[in-house]
Amino acid sequence: MQNHIKIFSGNANRPLAEKIAARVGVPLSVASIGRFPDGEIFVKYEETVRGRDVFIVQPTGLSPNEHLMELLIMVDAARRASAQRITAVMPFFAYARQDRKERSRVPISAKLVANLLVAAGVDRVLTVDLHSHQIQGFFDIPVDHLYAAPLMVCYLRRKLPAENRVVVAPDPGGLKMAYSYSQLLNAGLALAGKHRKSATEVEALELVGDVAGKDCILTDDITTTAGTLCAAANLALEHGAKSVRAAVSHCLLTDMGIQRLKESRLEELITTDSLLLKDWNGFPVTVLSVADMLGDAIKRIHGDEPVSSLFEIYQGRTQ
């Protein structure tokens, strides 16, 4: 395996790439990524990729345009250097929230990103918790979609007493994810209704479900300004919740979001290392690593084994 598989990292999250390579049991391969004086990106692989199975680890959050362009150029360089297969390992897939036309004269940017990846030469995509499952259908190549829920559930089982857990969907769009968590945790389920006043401000209107005296778990795939989470947390506490914490797969928190969390009544934020995380400025955060899960998926892809078996393995650990 060591001679045939190559794992490279862009600049988006090198620490995660190093953990993934360690899990696979190969050294992280070397690529030089620089800038020309005018800011254009330059990539050179410092070792051969001819005939190799190449995996490029590059989430595209936080600086999505920069990281996406860097990924596309890395893919193009690998393809022109005769890599046998190129897999884009994207723990976070940018532009996923723009997955449909909600009004006139707007793009479907998630589909555009899918087209760009395929045009650059990607043969396969490996990702975690897409904002919308339908994005898999935007590709004409295989997409392996993993879930952070088993990692979160293992942690929450140790953290909270079984008889007192309630999972709360912070908005109707998150109900399916919340239901999945409630099943894995054998917990109750509640739903918060919200009204978005602006891109950064949310008002929670009503809560459906019994949370009185319960330890509530808000679930979401992405948070940026934390408006939805904080509004739902306040609503749950107004309805008598004992405690509220949030389990979020990908944190793209702005400075506003971090400040909002600090001022909120949330006890804890649980997230993953899919993205390089900022200084939390004292707010209690638990970071769970997706490196082992992604590394195991890479080993199965390389060995032409089913990735679906991972779901059974990691879900079994939640029992």
Active-site residues, by number, are: 194
Contact 110, 77 (CB under 8 A): no
Paired with 216 in beta bridges are 166, 244
Instruction: Mark 133-162 as b/e (b = at least 16 C-beta within 10 Å).
Output: eebeebbeeebbebbbbbbbbbebbeebee
Q: Which two tokens stand for residue 171?
A: 């908005």
Amino acid at position 82, single letter: S
The gap between the terminal CA atoms of the chain, to the nearest Å, is: 32
Cα three-residue angle 107-110-114, rounded to 5 degrees: 120
Give Cα 236 distance to the centre of its chain: 25
What's the sign of the alpha-carbon dihedral 132, 134, 139, 142?
A: positive
Give Cα 223 distance to the centre of its chain: 10
Residue 88 has φ and ψ, to the nearest 5°, of -85, 115
Residues 132 and 145: their CA atoms lie apart, in Å, by 11
18: closest CA among 189, 48, 26? 26
Residues 130 and 319: their CA atoms lie apart, in Å, by 24
Paired with 191 in beta bridges are 169, 208
Cα three-residue angle 203-208-214, rounded to 5 degrees: 100
Residue 262's CB: how many other CB atoms inside 10 A?
A: 13
